[in-house]
């Protein structure tokens, strides 16, 4: 259980519930305010990197990695620059639900974020905004020889789903 809870703590700054469903086009960023949605998912067991797509004020594809150093700051690395956000509410992991018969688990985390304009780069330099996020993860942990769910530190589910969704008003700098 400690291992499973540890996997979500760094992701609690992100957003989810809707899996990655499409590809980003090359639409130019808008200097007008609007709602941006960034979403993605992965089946990598460690959840260390997710493919993402942004749509709304801008359309771009990229990835997000687990943060190193400051776990409240996340960098969305897009093709045309980096959008850096701060998890404004801090880790907000929801309860981990584990079915002890099937060993299936699920956890949802939600919170708020704000864009860090001075840390964003490329066409996203100077961007401003805020919003909400949701992060979802689920999978099945292996069973021990005794038939119990193995939730120890070394236990790894053979497959898991990690998904994020970030949404909120964003304004890109008119100079980009």
Report domain extents, the chain: 2-22+31-168
Give the closest residue to 164 by CA, choosing from 58, 70, 90, 53.
53
**For the whole model, what pTM was predicted?**
0.74
DSSP 8-class letter at 156: -
Q: How far apart are CA 10 and CA 70, in angstroms?
A: 9
Backbone angles phi, psi at 159, to 5 degrees: -155, 145
- And the tokens for 147? 């038939």
Q: Which residue has the higher pLDDT, 13 or 119?
A: 119
Q: Which ranges constitute the DSSP H helices of the chain?
A: 2-9
**pLDDT per residue as tens digits for the range 73-129:** 889 999 999 999 988 776 566 788 999 999 999 988 888 999 999 999 999 999 999
Residue listed under structure tokens 């590809």:
23
- 34 - beta bridge partners? 170
């Amino acid at each position: 259980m400690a291992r499973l809870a540890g996997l979500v703590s760094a992701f609690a700054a992100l957003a989810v519930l809707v899996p990655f469903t499409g590809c980003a086009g090359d639409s130019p960023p808008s200097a007008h305010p609007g709602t941006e949605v960034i979403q993605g998912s992965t089946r990598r067991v460690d959840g260390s990197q997710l493919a993402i797509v942004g749509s709304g004020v801008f359309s771009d594809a990229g990835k997000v990695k687990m943060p190193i150093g400051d776990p409240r700051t996340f960098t969305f690395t897009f093709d045309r620059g980096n959008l850096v956000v701060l998890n404004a509410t801090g880790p907000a992991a929801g309860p981990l639900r584990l079915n002890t018969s099937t060993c299936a688990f699920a956890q949802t985390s939600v919170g708020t974020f704000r864009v860090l304009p001075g840390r964003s780069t490329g066409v996203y330099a100077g961007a401003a905004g805020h919003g909400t996020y949701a992060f979802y993860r689920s999978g099945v942990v292996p069973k021990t020889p005794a038939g119990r769910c193995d939730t120890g530190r070394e236990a790894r589910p053979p497959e898991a789903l990690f998904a994020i969704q970030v949404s909120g008003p964003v304004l890109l700098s008119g100079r980009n």
